[in-house]
Amino acid sequence: MRPQSLDEYIGQHHLLAPGMPLRQQLARGVVDSLILWGPPGVGKTTLARLFAQSADAAFVSFSAVSDGVARVREVVAEAEDRRDGGRGTILFVDEIHRFNRGQQDAFLPHVEAGTVVLVGATTENPSFALTGALLSRTRVLVLEPISVPDLAGLADRALSDAVRGLGSRNLSITGDARILMAEQADGDARRLLGALEAAANLVDDGGVIERAQVEAAVQRRIPQYDKSGEEHHNLISALHKSVRGSDPQGALYWLARMIEGGEDPRYLARRLVRMAAEDIGLADPPALAFTIAAAETYERLGSPEGELALAEAAVYLAVAPKSNKVYEAWGAALEAARNSPAAKVPLHLRNAPTGLMKELGYGAGYQYAHAVPDAFIPQTYLPESLEGAMFYEPGPFGFEREVSKRLAWWASKRQDATSTTPTNPSGDAGP
């Protein structure tokens, strides 16, 4: 059922709809070096073949899995002979991301010389998988998963086509079975056609494919997830942002997606602990202990029992009050430390383990806070160059409201210590 013309090609309307630049370019028979980036089964190889057809060029397929640089030299020699005869060559490199940097660079001089038009296909993000030199000489086209209506139309076409499809069997399909099959394909035309063929094998010629046959043919959907690729980063970003956005539904869904995709739950446990420290912070101090307990629970129970503890932690973090004030304060403190790496520790804060150090004034003037009823004596704790710096200021939510009260009380005590007649107008005994 591979399309034989652009009119048969389904999906990618953002690139190939009438009037779109790429469609007009192909109508003129012009093809540039391209990288086709998209998930499996969306027509990358087919589109490359149609490019060659529109340009009346030779189509040479090259696999990054089975072919090497030596094969590149053979292809280039053949392409030079072909060009001398007035015909171009489209070199299609499937899974181009599997080439290392040196192998990718082997294409560059031949692309620049116009010996071949390179069309690479990849399921990986080109920004990470391809060299900058190759990207600068090619245009990246993003191919999207095929929509449910387009996939449903493909199923109809396969059932009616007697030459390339199942038309000779006179089969039909119910509407709900048709939509279910298209939905279960997850945007993958190959998966759709495979499911259709499997379902068709469960009915006799002239029969009707119903929902039960589709369910039996599809079985369990395999998640589209690559633990080392872009999808890994996309899903963990979605999980983190769902927690930060206080959405327990999203947090549970993305956690489940990663677990179902085969992600190591220990990695997810570490990330949940990070979220507790970064996004909840002192607005809800028990959140950090809760997530650490969830991680330890998983270590004891393993999968699947321990996954429930991670789900509890994700929900707890999502519904907890949020504060990144400590996260911001830590960044500011690090920056200050880098900008003043030689700032002297004030004498009254220094340790004085020897007589000489005491004679030099180490520790002199330090006041022991527990020596007074309020356990607070105003004194300086920063280097002179940073005196008055404010790294941490509590937020308005959760426990940090209590922290704000404590800081305000200590600030009033400092003010009282500098006034002529110290007072405590609130009568508060302190934190």
Query: Which whole-number Å values give the CA distances from 34 to 17, 122, 126, 131, in the listed order?
Result: 18, 11, 11, 14
Residue type, 86: G
Query: Helix, strand or coil for residue 62?
Result: strand
The pLDDT value recorded for residue 72 is 77
The pLDDT value recorded for residue 423 is 40
* All domains of the chain in start order, with CATH: 13-142 (3.40.50.300), 148-218 (1.10.8.60), 230-319 (1.20.272.10)
Query: Helix, strand or coil for residue 401?
Result: helix
| Angle, CA 137 vertex, CA 134 and CA 139 arms, to 5° | 100
The pLDDT value recorded for residue 296 is 95
Dihedrals phi, psi of 350, to nearest 5 degrees:
-80, 150
**97-151, pLDDT tens digit by residue?**
888 787 788 888 888 888 889 999 998 888 888 888 888 889 999 999 999 999 9
> Token pair for residue 286?
């028990």
Q: In whole angstroms, give the CA distance from residue 103 to residue 12.
A: 30
**Residue the block writes with tokens 């080392």:** 228
pTM over 0.75: no
Q: Which residue has the higher pLDDT, 133 or 289?
A: 289
The pLDDT value recorded for residue 208 is 94
